[in-house]
Amino acid sequence: MLPGTRPGISIRPRTRWTGSCANGESRQPVSSKWAVARARTPSFWPAGDSRSPRSTWVSRAIDRARARSAEAGVQIDFRVGDFRHLSDLGSPFPFVFDSGLYHCVRREALDDLLHFLGRITQPGSLWLTLAGNANETQPAEKGPPRVRAAELCAELEPMFALVELRETHFEAADQTNGWHPLAWSALLRRR
């Protein structure tokens, strides 16, 4: 079962994953591991968003993800770039997994993100987004960008109906101090 889903929700095999490394936090390697663990069809492909796609960190993350997919025998089409300019994505996806894109771009590019989601989903498509949770007690400068539950719903409800919203934690591979930032796992259905 996919994180944030409930029994009875069927996920078709063609899936889209978006992730963000724009703020330097280490979420993409975790998401790449998730993609390899979950991908079982050639039509599953993650695409990252980065303000500097040639950065060393992004290159290393994609290299690790490619190695993991090869080891798992899964064919994944990795694409790195600004989500606003990704093209040739094919028909809409029935399921989109987002590990940090929404919370990184919501303050400056929410309209662009909703336009992008409008292009890659169709009515009935599911979107699972993981976002920083404003209920986190650590200082705001520590961890991912944060959003309140009411903000998340207000920003996304016009296009998506909320299926499930629950608190969870980010678990990054490089966090050695034992702290795992509080997160939202929001499953939404395209209207």
118 located within any domain: yes
**Total domain count for the chain?**
1
Is residue 1 situated within a structural domain? Answer: no
pLDDT (tens digit, 9 = 90+) per residue, 9-19?
Answer: 333 334 455 55
Q: What is the DSSP code string of 36-101?
A: HHH--STT-EEEEE-SSTT-HHHHHHHHHHHHHHHHHT-----EES-GGG-----SPPSEEEEESH
Does the residue 10 lie in any domain? Answer: no
Task: Tell me, yes or no, if the pTM score tops 0.85.
Answer: no
Q: Is 80 among the domain residues?
A: yes
Please check whether residue 7 lies inside any domain of the structure.
no
165 pLDDT higher than 80: yes
CA 75 to chain centre: 19
In this predicted structure, the answer to whether residue 141 has a pLDDT above a threshold of 70 is: yes
- How many Å apart are CA 50 and CA 23, to the nearest integer? 9
Pairwise CA distance, residues 133 & 137, whole Å? 10
pLDDT at res. 172? 65
Domain carrying residue 162: 15-190
- Lowest mean pLDDT: which of 55-64, 78-87, 103-112, 178-187? 55-64
Q: Is residue 5 part of a domain?
A: no
Asked if residue 6 is part of any domain, the answer here is no
For residue 3, tell me if it sits in a domain: no
Is 70 exceeded by the pLDDT of residue 78?
yes
The average confidence (pLDDT) of the chain is 75
Report the CATH number that the domain containing residue 126 is assigned in CATH: 3.40.50.150
